[in-house]
Amino acid sequence: MTPHATSTPQDATSGLAKYIDHTLLRPEASEADILRLCKEAAEHHFKSVCVNPVWVRTANRALLGTGVLTCAVVGFPLGANNTDVKVFEARGATMDGADEVDMVINIAAARALDRDSLVSDISAVAEVVHGEESILKVIIETSLLSDAEKVLACQAAVEAGADFVKTSTGFNGGGATAADVALMRQTVGPDIGVKASGGVRTLEKAQEMIAAGATRIGTSSGIAIVTGAAGTSGY
């Protein structure tokens, strides 16, 4: 259910926490930072924490019994790894306890309109992720693609068996826009998730993304969003 932007702040953020992947992907993040992230996610009942693969075991242990999922990124942030490297990363992440995997596509293939390469890359990761009964989200990096390329990438993700398409890594410029989320939702239809990430720092921005069709929000400003404050980091 989409949160309402009326009445009290508590009403405005009711249910919003379950949209949020509480995210920390900075390369310098420490174990203490990850444990703090997990504690915050449990306190605010966020959907997941999203971390680099090296921290999956730490996060998974810290989140046991909280109901918060562990999400890992794969091929991050460039998507320029060979497919077998992404598969290896995804297998390791799920074996370490990742409930969800966010993979970056081969962006060059999308810009070349090479649908077959995209499907092959995504489906190989999907096979591993789904084999462990985990969820696959596919990052298409909207800021680097034309609308036609965004549509092609989303279509390839659906064909390859992805559970979600996702706007951005937050590392390559730009971020989520309502227009991109709406285009992605229109392309994938009602049964595939759409994750808006990159630059979502406020309650109003999160609500805008959800109104456009997002079913998940990736952000490092989750606490600010659910408390109605302004976040200071895009991802």
Whether 159 has a pLDDT exceeding 70, the answer reads yes
Q: Which residue has the tokens 């390859």?
A: 160
Structure tokens at 200: 């979502």
pLDDT in tens, 190-220: 999 999 999 999 999 999 999 999 999 999 9
Structure tokens at 177: 């826009």
Q: Which residue in 216, 196, 194 sits closest to 143, CA to CA?
A: 196
Amino acid letter, residue 195:
K
Query: Residue 115: how many CB atoms within 10 A of its CB?
Result: 16
Residues whose CB falls within 8 Å of the CB of residue 161, separated by 6 or more in sequence, listed in order: 122, 123, 126, 127, 130, 136
Spatial distance between the Cα atoms of 61 and 125, rounded to a whole number of angstroms = 24
Structure tokens at 9: 């702040």
Q: Which residue in 60, 58, 50, 61 sits closest to 104, CA to CA?
A: 50
Q: Measuring CA to CA, how many Å separate 46 from each of 13, 171, 179, 213?
A: 12, 23, 25, 19
Structure confidence at residue 59 (pLDDT): 98
Asked: is 13-227 a CATH 3.20.20.70 domain? The reply is yes
Q: How buried is residue 136: exposed, middle or buried, by Cβ count under 10 Å (0-12/13-18/19+)? A: buried
Residue 164: strand pairing partners = 137, 193
- Banded model confidence at residue 172, pLDDT cuts 50, 70, 90: confident
- Catalytic site residue 86? no
Single out the catalytic residue among 137, 166, 180, 205.
166
Structure tokens at 153: 């990438």
Query: Residue 92: how many CB atoms within 10 A of its CB?
Result: 16
pTM of the model: 0.92
- Catalytic site residue 33? no
pLDDT in tens, 6-31: 333 444 465 999 999 999 999 999 99
For the chain, domain boundaries: 13-227
106 in Cβ contact with 121 (< 8 Å): yes
- Name the percent of the chain lying above pLDDT 70: 91
Please tell me the total number of residues recorded for the chain in this structure: 235
Single out the catalytic residue among 86, 137, 195, 205.
195
Structure confidence at residue 4 (pLDDT): 33
- Catalytic site residue 47? no
pLDDT in tens, 83-119: 999 999 999 999 999 999 999 999 999 999 999 999 9
Single out the catalytic residue among 96, 102, 121, 180.
102
Structure confidence at residue 168 (pLDDT): 97
Can the peptide bond before residue 77 be classed as cis, meaning omega within 30 degrees of 0? yes
